[in-house]
Amino acid sequence: MKGKKLVSPKLERILKKIKDEKLRKKVAEVLENPTVEIEGKTFQGFSLEDSPAALRHHHAYKGGLVEHIVATAEIALTLCKIVKKVYGGKVNRDVILAGVLLHDVFKPVTYMLSENGSYRSSPIGEKLDHLSLVVSELMRRGFPLEVVHAVCAHHGEYGMMKPKTLEALVCFLADYTDSQLNGEVLRAARHLAREATGEELEEITAKEAFEIVHLKAAEGLEEVRKFLEKRRG
């Protein structure tokens, strides 16, 4: 990391938890320059800090990707503690942290903004998914097989490869848990917004969604309506 600055201090805090210096450096190099080169052409999408983590279902807003990676890392670290303290098992935390930091790192390349401000697939994203891009790039850069597998299997039974190691399983469960949590809260907030105003709420962050759900539970739909009116300015 000589003379270079990571795109996000939030990601750097997670990166510093990787004890293996060689692995930590390799992960940092990807985070510092998450671009893809194909046939001599370099593809670069949003910055990691600006990118959503998905087009629709979860973290589908500016900054959603870093938010998702941080939340996934926190869940993964908690699972590591449970494995050790409750079950007496062992996992390689470095592999898990590397897998979490890298699992969605090439999503920004596969997204772009439409003229109406919504997110859609980029030209490269229409032909290659983020998982194919990251696995091929990690192999090209000589990452350990255990890390490549953890990244490759992070979609679990829904992806190209099921987890075959505890580390890969932890990565999958952490990723799945956060994406489901975020996605369900966003859906609930949009539903409440329709009930309160009769209008569709397209652009919304997780923090706003949690606030809407809390207001409905604590004070009712009228407070949700007031919140949305204030939000519109």
231 is a domain residue: no
Residue with tokens 């998914």: 129
What is the pLDDT at residue 152?
Answer: 95
CA dihedral (112, 38, 176, 13) in degrees, to 10, reads: -90
* Total-model pTM: 0.89
Check residue 121 and give its pLDDT: 86
Domain that holds residue 157: 9-183
pLDDT (tens digit per residue) in 123-162? 888 898 888 999 999 999 999 999 999 999 987 777 778 9
Predicted pLDDT at 7: 59
- H runs (alpha helix) in the chain: 9-15, 21-32, 64-85, 93-102, 130-140, 145-152, 166-197, 206-219, 221-232
| pLDDT for the residue 189 | 93
Residue 151 lies in a domain: yes
Instruction: Return the CATH number at 110.
Output: 1.10.3210
From CA 219, how far away is CA 83, in angstroms rounded? 40
Q: What pLDDT score was predicted for residue 3? A: 42
Number of domains present in the structure of the chain: 1
What does the pLDDT read at residue 2?
43
Backbone dihedral angles phi then psi of residue 222, each to the nearest 5 degrees: -60, -40
Confirm whether 226 is domain-assigned.
no
Asked if residue 205 is part of any domain, the answer here is no
> What is the structure's pLDDT at 28?
95
**Residue 72 lies inside a defined structural domain of this protein:** yes
Find, among 101, 88, 133, the residue nearest to 17 by Cα. 101
229 assigned to some structural domain: no
117: left (phi over 0), alpha (psi -120 to 50) or beta: left
pLDDT at 1: 40
d(CA 175, CA 118): 24
Q: What is the pLDDT of residue 81?
A: 98
In a domain, 71, yes or no: yes
What pLDDT is attached to residue 114?
84
pLDDT at 30: 93
Q: Which positions of the chain have pLDDT values less than 50?
A: 1-3
* Residue 62 belongs to a domain: yes
pLDDT of 5: 53
